[in-house]
Structure 1
Amino acid sequence: MAIVDRNVTPPRPDSTPAHSEIAPRSAASGNTSRVRQVMSQIPGPLIGLIVIFVALSFLSQYFLTPRNLLNILSQVSAVGVMSVGALLIILLGGIDLSVGSVLALSSMSMAAMYKMAGWPFEVALLAGLVVGALVGLINGILTAYGKLQPFIATLATMSAAAGLALFITNGNPITGFPDWFIAITATSILGIPIEGVILVAIFAIAAFWLKFRPSGRALYAIGGNEEVARLSGLPVRRAKIMVYTIAGLLAAVAGLLVTSRLDSAQPTAGAADLLNVIAVVVIGGASLSGGSGSLLGTFVGLLIIGVLNNGMSLLNVSANLQPVVIGAVIAAAVLTDRKSSRRHS
């Protein structure tokens, strides 16, 4: 008589297929999660730039020509230089509304000293840079020591600088500058416009400072929590004055680039650049609350604005509608930034 062990469970005939079916599903799930992880590491602005770039290459036969691509770099050089200073200020949790007016004032000051006062051009050029830095210094003092909100302080200097730029010549432009000055925006190095080289050099220097210098890294701490940064011993006031002064100096550099390109100093130059400067920084991923942002993202945002403006011109989009598109892109960038912040939280 056979003895049956009731504690032994007979093998399931379908156990092997079940295991072999689960394994591929697990592998596929792992691959999907890895792909999502890699995609999450790619900055959103960079993906947007690629999409816009590919779309415009199909919509316009002139977009991908080397001449047009170099034109984009030249067109965004002045806005790009100002956006570096704007990013530094936004990292502190501030904002600068005066960049366009500082561009005009520094340009008109340089031109007036050269053509009307008879100063040597090199001295007048340096004086124009000093004027821009001085306005930035005033912004820094008003925010650091005057305790004014950055919006109010820079709004006041914006109005004052715009008025002074018009007052110098009663609103008339000044033309006629040395050939070597005009050559800054009329010649190229290895096919790259000199103003593009200047733009990339400024971005590289600022990126090195933010990443490797303690005073640059301190901007993130101050923008993240100013009171904690002050209690930790960081020189908050000095950092604000320094950053606003740098922003004013960079706006003056942008003014010189515009004057060189036009061979004319215009008292209303830069009036329409404020929206583009803020758009570049915001689209690049910087948070308006301060403490986060990068120059790489700002450079990508600059290219997005430049490519959009250039593409809309090639497609004969009305100049009155182009700011509408830029405004929509800014709104989308801010909404994306908020969703990303909540997800990371």
Structure 2
Amino acid sequence: MKNTTFFQKYGIVVVLAGLIVFFTIMSPAFLTVDNLFNVARQVSMIGITSVGMMFVMLTGGIDLSVGSVLAFVNVVCAYFMVKMNMNPWAACLLCMVISAGFGFLNGVIITKWRVPPIISSMGFMNILSGLAFIISGGLPIYGFDPNFTIMGQGYISIIPIPVIIMIGIFILGWFILNKTYFGRYFYAIGGNEEAAKLAGINVISTKQMVYMLSGIFASLAGIIMLSRLNSGQPTTGTGFEFEVIIAVVLGGVSVNGGSGRIFGVVIGVLIMGILSNGLVLMNVNDYVQDVVQGIVLVIAVGFDCVSKAKSESKLKESVKNKGNAVSA
């Protein structure tokens, strides 16, 4: 029992340490300061978006539109700056507001129309992806202020700015989950929605808010990606949503909602980055990496389902034993 509990709590840290040791042995270039900062910069967009995805999944939902939000913002923000000569920061702010609106609308459809989250978010995934291609004409948009690249390519001392932003978002996510009523509401809704309603929690508004937050965080990741690439490309977010979901689930957030910690998500994001970087250093091609990511997702979800089934079984057995004790 103690071993099982230890593995459930710290198994993901052991996996991270194992990957670091493995890739250090396989590639001398892996455990260098430059490469480690490169890994952190590469996963910064996933890390930022994973906080919003975590909020959604804690309530028992899922948001498949985050990759398309990233691509949409990538294109629209570039369009605002290049075609409309808009101030870069005003363009960024407007894109975040628009993304928040799409996220809120997604939440309204899910809560008011009772459309399953996977269907609604898939619809927005296609809508936003289509809009990105329509606005850009399928071509990259470039030619904006070179100073805008500082957000995605700049450094403060030796630390890349995207990494600093990601750390700030993780801290914000921790604060919301542990120091605010809303954070507790996320867990309560995912744990038992009916009980949350009886406790006076406004489930509808809370769910709408988490999808709105997911849109905001994904849009921030899109802005950083635009700054890093120095061009708006409609294909940028392809497959991005699955990388985010894998990182969050790998970090211990239950696909059924109600459980998960921000620390676990941080480790999950790092595992995704180290796994991808290590395979590249070993000259493993992209298709094999896709297979590995798929295997990781299936194992992580399978472990979550098995763990939850065991917990429910133990709870039922405990209730039954207490009932028998009272009867005796």
Q: TM-score, normalised by structure 2?
A: 0.91
Q: Does 1:268 align with 2:235?
A: yes
Q: Within 2, Cα distance between the matches of 1:226 and 1:256?
A: 34
1:102 to 1:41, Cα distance in 2 relative to 1, 3 A:
closer
Identity of aligned residues (%): 39
* Per-residue Cα deviation, 1:154-184 (whole angstroms, up to 9, x for no partner): 1111111010000002111111222332011
Q: Does the 8 A contact of 2:249 with 2:255 survive in 1?
A: yes
Deviation for aligned residue 1:190: 3.0
The amino acid of 1:237's aligned partner reads I
Shift of 1:336: 2.3
Contact between 1:88 and 1:243, CA under 8 Å: does it hold in 2? yes
Cα distance in structure 1, aligned partners of 2:146 and 2:269: 29
User: Contact 2:248 / 2:268 at 8 angstroms: preserved in 1?
Assistant: yes
Structure with higher Rg: it is 1
Q: Which residue of 2 aligns with 1:121?
A: 88
What SS does the aligned partner of 1:174 have? coil
- 2:229 and 2:98 mapped to 1: Cα distance? 21
Q: Distance in 2 between matches of 1:71 and 1:122?
A: 26
- Any idea what SS the aligned residue of 1:287 has? coil
* Structure 1 moving runs of 4+ over 6 Å: none
Residues paired across the two proteins, number: 312
Mean alpha-carbon deviation: is it higher for 43-52 or for 250-259?
Answer: 43-52
Question: Displacement of 1:257 after TM fit?
Answer: 0.7
Secondary structure of 1:329's match? helix
**Of 194-203 and 268-277, the range deviating more from structure 2:** 268-277
Cα distance change of structure 1 residues 126 and 50 upon mapping to structure 2, 3 Å threshold: same
Determine the C-alpha separation between the residues in 2 that align with 1:338 and 1:241: 26
Partner Cα separation in structure 2 for residue 41 and residue 300 of structure 1: 14
Equivalent residue letter for 2:14: I
Q: Is the 8 A contact 2:152 2:226 kept in 1?
A: no
Partner of 1:134: 101
Aligned pairs (5 A) from 1:250-265: 250-265=217-232
Which residue pairs with 1:25 in the alignment?
A: none
Whole-angstrom CA distance in 1 between matches of 2:184 and 2:73: 30
Q: TM-score, normalised by structure 1?
A: 0.87
Q: CA RMSD in A?
A: 1.6
1:219-255: CA deviation from partner (whole Å, max 9, x where unpaired):
1000111111112110101101111001001111000
**What displacement does 1:152 show?**
1.0
Q: CA offset at residue 280 of structure 1?
A: 0.3
Q: 1:43 aligns to what SS in structure 2?
A: helix
Q: Distance in 2 between matches of 1:260 and 1:46?
A: 32
Contact 1:84 1:206 in 2 (8 A): yes
1:107/1:128 contact within 8 Å kept: no
Describe the shift of the 1:187–1:118 C-alpha distance in structure 2 as closer, same or farther (beyond 3 A). Answer: closer
For structure 1, the 5+ residue unaligned runs are 1-32
Q: 1:244 to 1:37 in 2, by over 3 A?
A: closer
Q: The residue matched to 1:175 in structure 2 has which SS?
A: coil
